[in-house]
Structure 1
Amino acid sequence: MKNLFIMLSVAITLLFSGVSMADTNTATETEGQIWAQVKEGAKGVTTSHGQAHEQLINTYDLRVFELRSDLLAPALTAALFGMIIVFVVFIKINGISKLHGGFTGKLVYRWSKFDVSIHWLGAIPCLLLILTGLTLLAGRFFLQPYVGEGLWAGLINSAKLIHDYMAIPFMLGWALMTLLWAKNQLPKMYDLKWMMYVGGYINFGPFKGKHPDAGFANAGEKLWFWAFAFFGLVISASGMLLLFPNLFEPSRTLSLIALVLHSVSAIVITAFSIVHIFMATVMSEGGMECMVSGYCDEQWAKQHHNLWYDEIKENGTLKYKE
């Protein structure tokens, strides 16, 4: 009897195992068929009225998110911190560009109060967008491991709110600067020589003491301006789609494209912004005064924008601060 009972138990176990294996194989085959249909774009029926409500999933969703997480997030981090490190090392080795003979004390009119205002209208939101965007995109790599969960949740929520609210002022500043300043940013032949001599900012070797010609804007400023104009357009358009999805009702595919373009544009603008900030505040002695008061020292004008200074002196539009 005991042997019979054991044999019956083994038989029942094998029977149910066979049924289970068959069910597993059937389930696997069914899942494979469903997934094949999904990849082919199969649609279903739902009572939802949301975006892409008929589409179960995009097979490329995860690839886009992996691209954003594995490539774009580190790239944005490198654009910010990497460029800062590069400039600190460069200034440590090269030093800054000092005014020959020092400051004259005569301040030459360069920017109107309106120009200064729209510069800061774009600049302040731009800085906040860079910092909050970096936190949202890559903060989990360099910040989250070192703070508590509660603090991290608060930082992410604050970053999201600031990023959303600063978007509109940034777009307004970008639009005004692009439209009003483009006429002074057109490339000229002498810009090539300026690039060859790196603007005269190198303090050693054959470049030392060289100050190539420059008009109202030098070649470096023009490069920054057009990068800001183009990528600012991309980041503004993609940002609007992401910020107001119910208004524009973009497709799922378009939303993913906007997400990638937004991140790529942010990387470029971040790198250029660091260069721009260092050149204005540290590298060029007397440069920051231009966007504080709208005036620059006369020696600074002669040394860094000689063609513009000669032009306004010749045509009688040279004005000094009283």
Structure 2
Amino acid sequence: MSKTLLRPLLMLVALMLPLMGFAADDPGTVAQQAGNQTEVVWQALQQGQEGYTTSQSPFHAKPINTYDERIIPVREQVLAPGMMLALFGMIGIFVLFVLVNGISKLHDGYSGKMVFRWSKADVAIHWLGAIPCLLLILTGLLLMAGRHFFEPTLGQGTFAAIMAAAKPIHDYMAIPFMLGWLLMTIKWAKNQIPAKYDLDWFMVVGGYINFGPFKGKHPDAGFANAGEKMWFWTFVLFGAVIVASGAVLLFPTVFEPSRTLSLLAIVAHGASAIIICAFSIVHIFMATVMSEGGMECMKSGYCDENWAKQHHNVWYDEIKADGTLKYKSESA
């Protein structure tokens, strides 16, 4: 046999010998050896052993995240059920509340006179933030809790198809949400400053209770009532966390976060989303169901005069006194 043919044969036998040896070993011995090797590797990683990669990020040499692993189950055991509870739990509570209490009707009925409240720009900014916010809540729910709560019912194929659409929707809707959050924060903060009468508003639950000692109460409220102010500053604060953490997750090549920062961003993003989701449900129910005539404000920018007197009397008195009260013309 020529040396040309012998050399590849010898190399093949040399490669096969270790495999043949492992095959002949006791399975328990093989498992023990593998476990020992894994332990050695893990110890090296914990001691800061670096790897090699072609990446140019500041953390390219870190082969694995050695951060406390308890941060990962937080998403599955706390955030996922928390998001489900924030959405469906709050919806259930409000449905029950409306069935028991009823809605807040205009005691003097509709006046037929529409008072200017929001500019067209304000209405546009509201929907710029509101529509993406709703889509982000729904898609975020699927991304965070879908595998645990929806996939078992829908099936793997159907759930995979839904998720294929949910992920890009969530990513694309993040941009208008960020812009809407920023514009709302800058433009509306001046009308959200707490006032002394806001505490009285909370004491009678805004006058929305239709039974007991709360019935018929009409607490003072400025341009924004106490509940709206609480929602606004909650949106500003936790919206900032969502925007910041979302930017880190959405643009990893720009921010180049460490693995630890990425995990913390996921937890902060999810926890803030739960709070925003719960408050959003309250806000939506109060505007569309609980307050008769309330939804018109964010459709046309005008509100019925009796609605303004009943729910925002301080603001109505102010614009009437300073001459800025403006009614909607029939041609508008």
Q: Same fold (TM over 0.5)?
A: yes
Is the alpha carbon distance of 1:45 and 1:188 closer, same or farther for their aligned partners in structure 2, counting shifts above 3 Å? Answer: same
Deviations 1:245-293 (A, max 9, x none): 0111111111111111110111010000000000000000000000000
Which sections of structure 1, spanning at least 5 residues, go unmatched?
1-15
Aligned-residue CA RMSD (Å): 1.8
Superposed displacement of residue 220, structure 1: 0.2
> 2:6 — aligned with what?
none
SS in structure 2 of the partner of residue 277 of structure 1: helix
> Given that residues 53 and 61 in structure 2 are in contact (C-alpha distance below 8 angstroms), is that contact kept between their aligned partners in structure 1?
no
1:129-144 equivalent positions in 2, closer than 5 A = 129-144=136-151
Is the alpha carbon distance of 1:20 and 1:72 closer, same or farther for their aligned partners in structure 2, counting shifts above 3 Å? Answer: closer
Is the alpha carbon distance of 1:20 and 1:284 closer, same or farther for their aligned partners in structure 2, counting shifts above 3 Å? Answer: closer
- Out of 312, 320, 324, which is 1:305 matched to? 312
SS in structure 1 of the partner of residue 169 of structure 2: helix
Identity %: 65
Deviations 1:31-77 (A, max 9, x none): 3333233233x223313316533222223364222110111011011
> 1:49 — aligned with what?
55
Amino acid of the structure 2 residue aligned with 1:245: P
Deviations 1:181-220 (A, max 9, x none): 0000000111011011110001111111111100000000
SS in structure 2 of the partner of residue 173 of structure 1: helix
CA distance in 2, matches of 1:22, 1:303: 81
> 1:7 — aligned with what?
none
Amino acid of the structure 1 residue aligned with 2:159: W
Is the alpha carbon distance of 1:50 and 1:70 closer, same or farther for their aligned partners in structure 2, counting shifts above 3 Å? Answer: farther
> 1:58 — aligned with what?
65
Whether 1:256 aligns to 2:271 is: no
> 1:112 — aligned with what?
119
> 1:182 — aligned with what?
189
Superposed displacement of residue 101, structure 1: 1.7
Deviations 1:214-234 (A, max 9, x none): 000000000000000111111
CA distance in 2, matches of 1:257, 1:287: 39
SS in structure 1 of the partner of residue 324 of structure 2: coil
Deviations 1:63-121 (A, max 9, x none): 22211011101101100000000000011111100001211111110000110000000
Deviates more, 1:123-132 or 1:151-160: 151-160
> Given that residues 45 and 64 in structure 2 are in contact (C-alpha distance below 8 angstroms), is that contact kept between their aligned partners in structure 1?
yes
CA distance in 1, matches of 2:36, 2:156: 42
Q: How many residues align?
A: 305
Give the alignment's TM-score, normalised by structure 1: 0.90
CA distance in 2, matches of 1:117, 1:24: 64
Amino acid of the structure 2 residue aligned with 1:309: Y
SS in structure 2 of the partner of residue 273 of structure 1: helix
1:70-219 equivalent positions in 2, closer than 5 A = 70-219=77-226
Amino acid of the structure 2 residue aligned with 1:48: T
Which sections of structure 2, spanning at least 5 residues, go unmatched?
1-23
Is the alpha carbon distance of 1:209 and 1:20 closer, same or farther for their aligned partners in structure 2, counting shifts above 3 Å? Answer: closer
CA distance in 2, matches of 1:143, 1:22: 42
SS in structure 1 of the partner of residue 221 of structure 2: coil
Is the alpha carbon distance of 1:218 and 1:62 closer, same or farther for their aligned partners in structure 2, counting shifts above 3 Å? Answer: same
SS in structure 1 of the partner of residue 115 of structure 2: strand
Amino acid of the structure 1 residue aligned with 2:197: Y
CA distance in 2, matches of 1:200, 1:165: 40
Give the alignment's TM-score, normalised by structure 2: 0.87
CA distance in 2, matches of 1:67, 1:30: 29
Is the alpha carbon distance of 1:61 and 1:159 closer, same or farther for their aligned partners in structure 2, counting shifts above 3 Å? Answer: farther
SS in structure 2 of the partner of residue 108 of structure 1: strand
